[in-house]
Amino acid sequence: MTNSFPLIIIVILSLVVLIAFAAGFFVGYAIKNHFRYRIRVNQNRGEAAVFKVIKSNFSPPQFHLLNNITIPFRDGTTQIDHVLVSTKGIFVIETKNYSGWLFADEKSKQWAQVFYGVTHKFQNPIHQNYLHVKALEQLFDFLPKEQIHSVVVFTGSAQFKTPMPKGVYYLHQLVEFLNSFQNDVISPNRVEFCVGRLECKRYEVTKMTDIQHRAYLARKFGKSMG
């Protein structure tokens, strides 16, 4: 009995440590998933805000807005928030919905968000949108590359504490920027052709399409990159 008592204590302590470890793992997993969910919710709100602004100010036949586009590119897929096809050019729009302070540099791989004293690093959206632009340059290989424009739009209440990089705008600046393109450079027939080609090449908007795209990113980069 005396010899078995320390063994019982060891077994009990081992079980406590195991339970604590398992609880910590599941709590951490839940927090991580919740964080991802909140990012996606905020992103959807940002995309909805951009959609509303564009649809309220730019209408067919000169302008055609396509949203949430997944198309094949290189050895996988790429996912684009918005593509505005117009007689003024093709605008490839990446939307970000953030709060707090933003610190950015055009050439840096990552930018920083500071919110209530907590710093969060995220991928440079200019680099992210560069791949989207390249995918559309490949799809619209009959258009001059200078007619395809990268646009990064920040919705939400975030404020840049560094100079805003070229091609990056707050939501309230988007209409003025798009209106700065006064000249028609693409014919109405060619605009319709571009819309048709994009609609034919894009994957169906489903949850499975989104899952497969994110799985591709995880395999290639180890994280979601868009």
pLDDT tens digits, residue range 79-105? 999 999 999 999 999 999 999 999 999
| Nearby residues of 201 by Cβ (< 8 Å), 6 or more positions away | 71, 72, 139
Tokens representing 89 are: 């050019």
pLDDT band per the 50, 70, 90 thresholds, residue 115: very high
Decide if pLDDT at 225 tops 80: no
Task: Locate 47 and state its tokens.
Answer: 């995309």
* DSSP-derived pairing of the beta strands 63-73 and 110-115: unpaired
Cβ proximity of 63 and 184 under 8 Å: no
Per residue in 24-76, pLDDT (tens digit) is 555 444 434 444 444 455 568 999 999 999 999 999 999 999 999 999 998 88
Peptide bond into 188 cis (omega under 30): no
Q: Determine the pLDDT at residue 12.
A: 75
Sheet holding 159-160, edge to edge: 118-123, 110-115, 101-103, 159-160
Who wins on pLDDT, 162 or 44?
A: 162
Per-residue DSSP letter, 212: H
CB of 133 within 8 A of CB of 150?
A: yes
Residue 209, pLDDT > 80, answer no
pLDDT score recorded for residue 17: 66
Residues β-bridged to residue 90: 85, 148
Give the bridge partners for 155, in sequence order: 97
Instruction: Give residue-wise pLDDT tens across range 184-207.
Output: 999 999 999 999 999 999 998 654
Structure-block tokens of residue 193: 């052709």
The pTM for the full model equals 0.75
The Cα–Cα gap between 217 and 212 comes to: 9
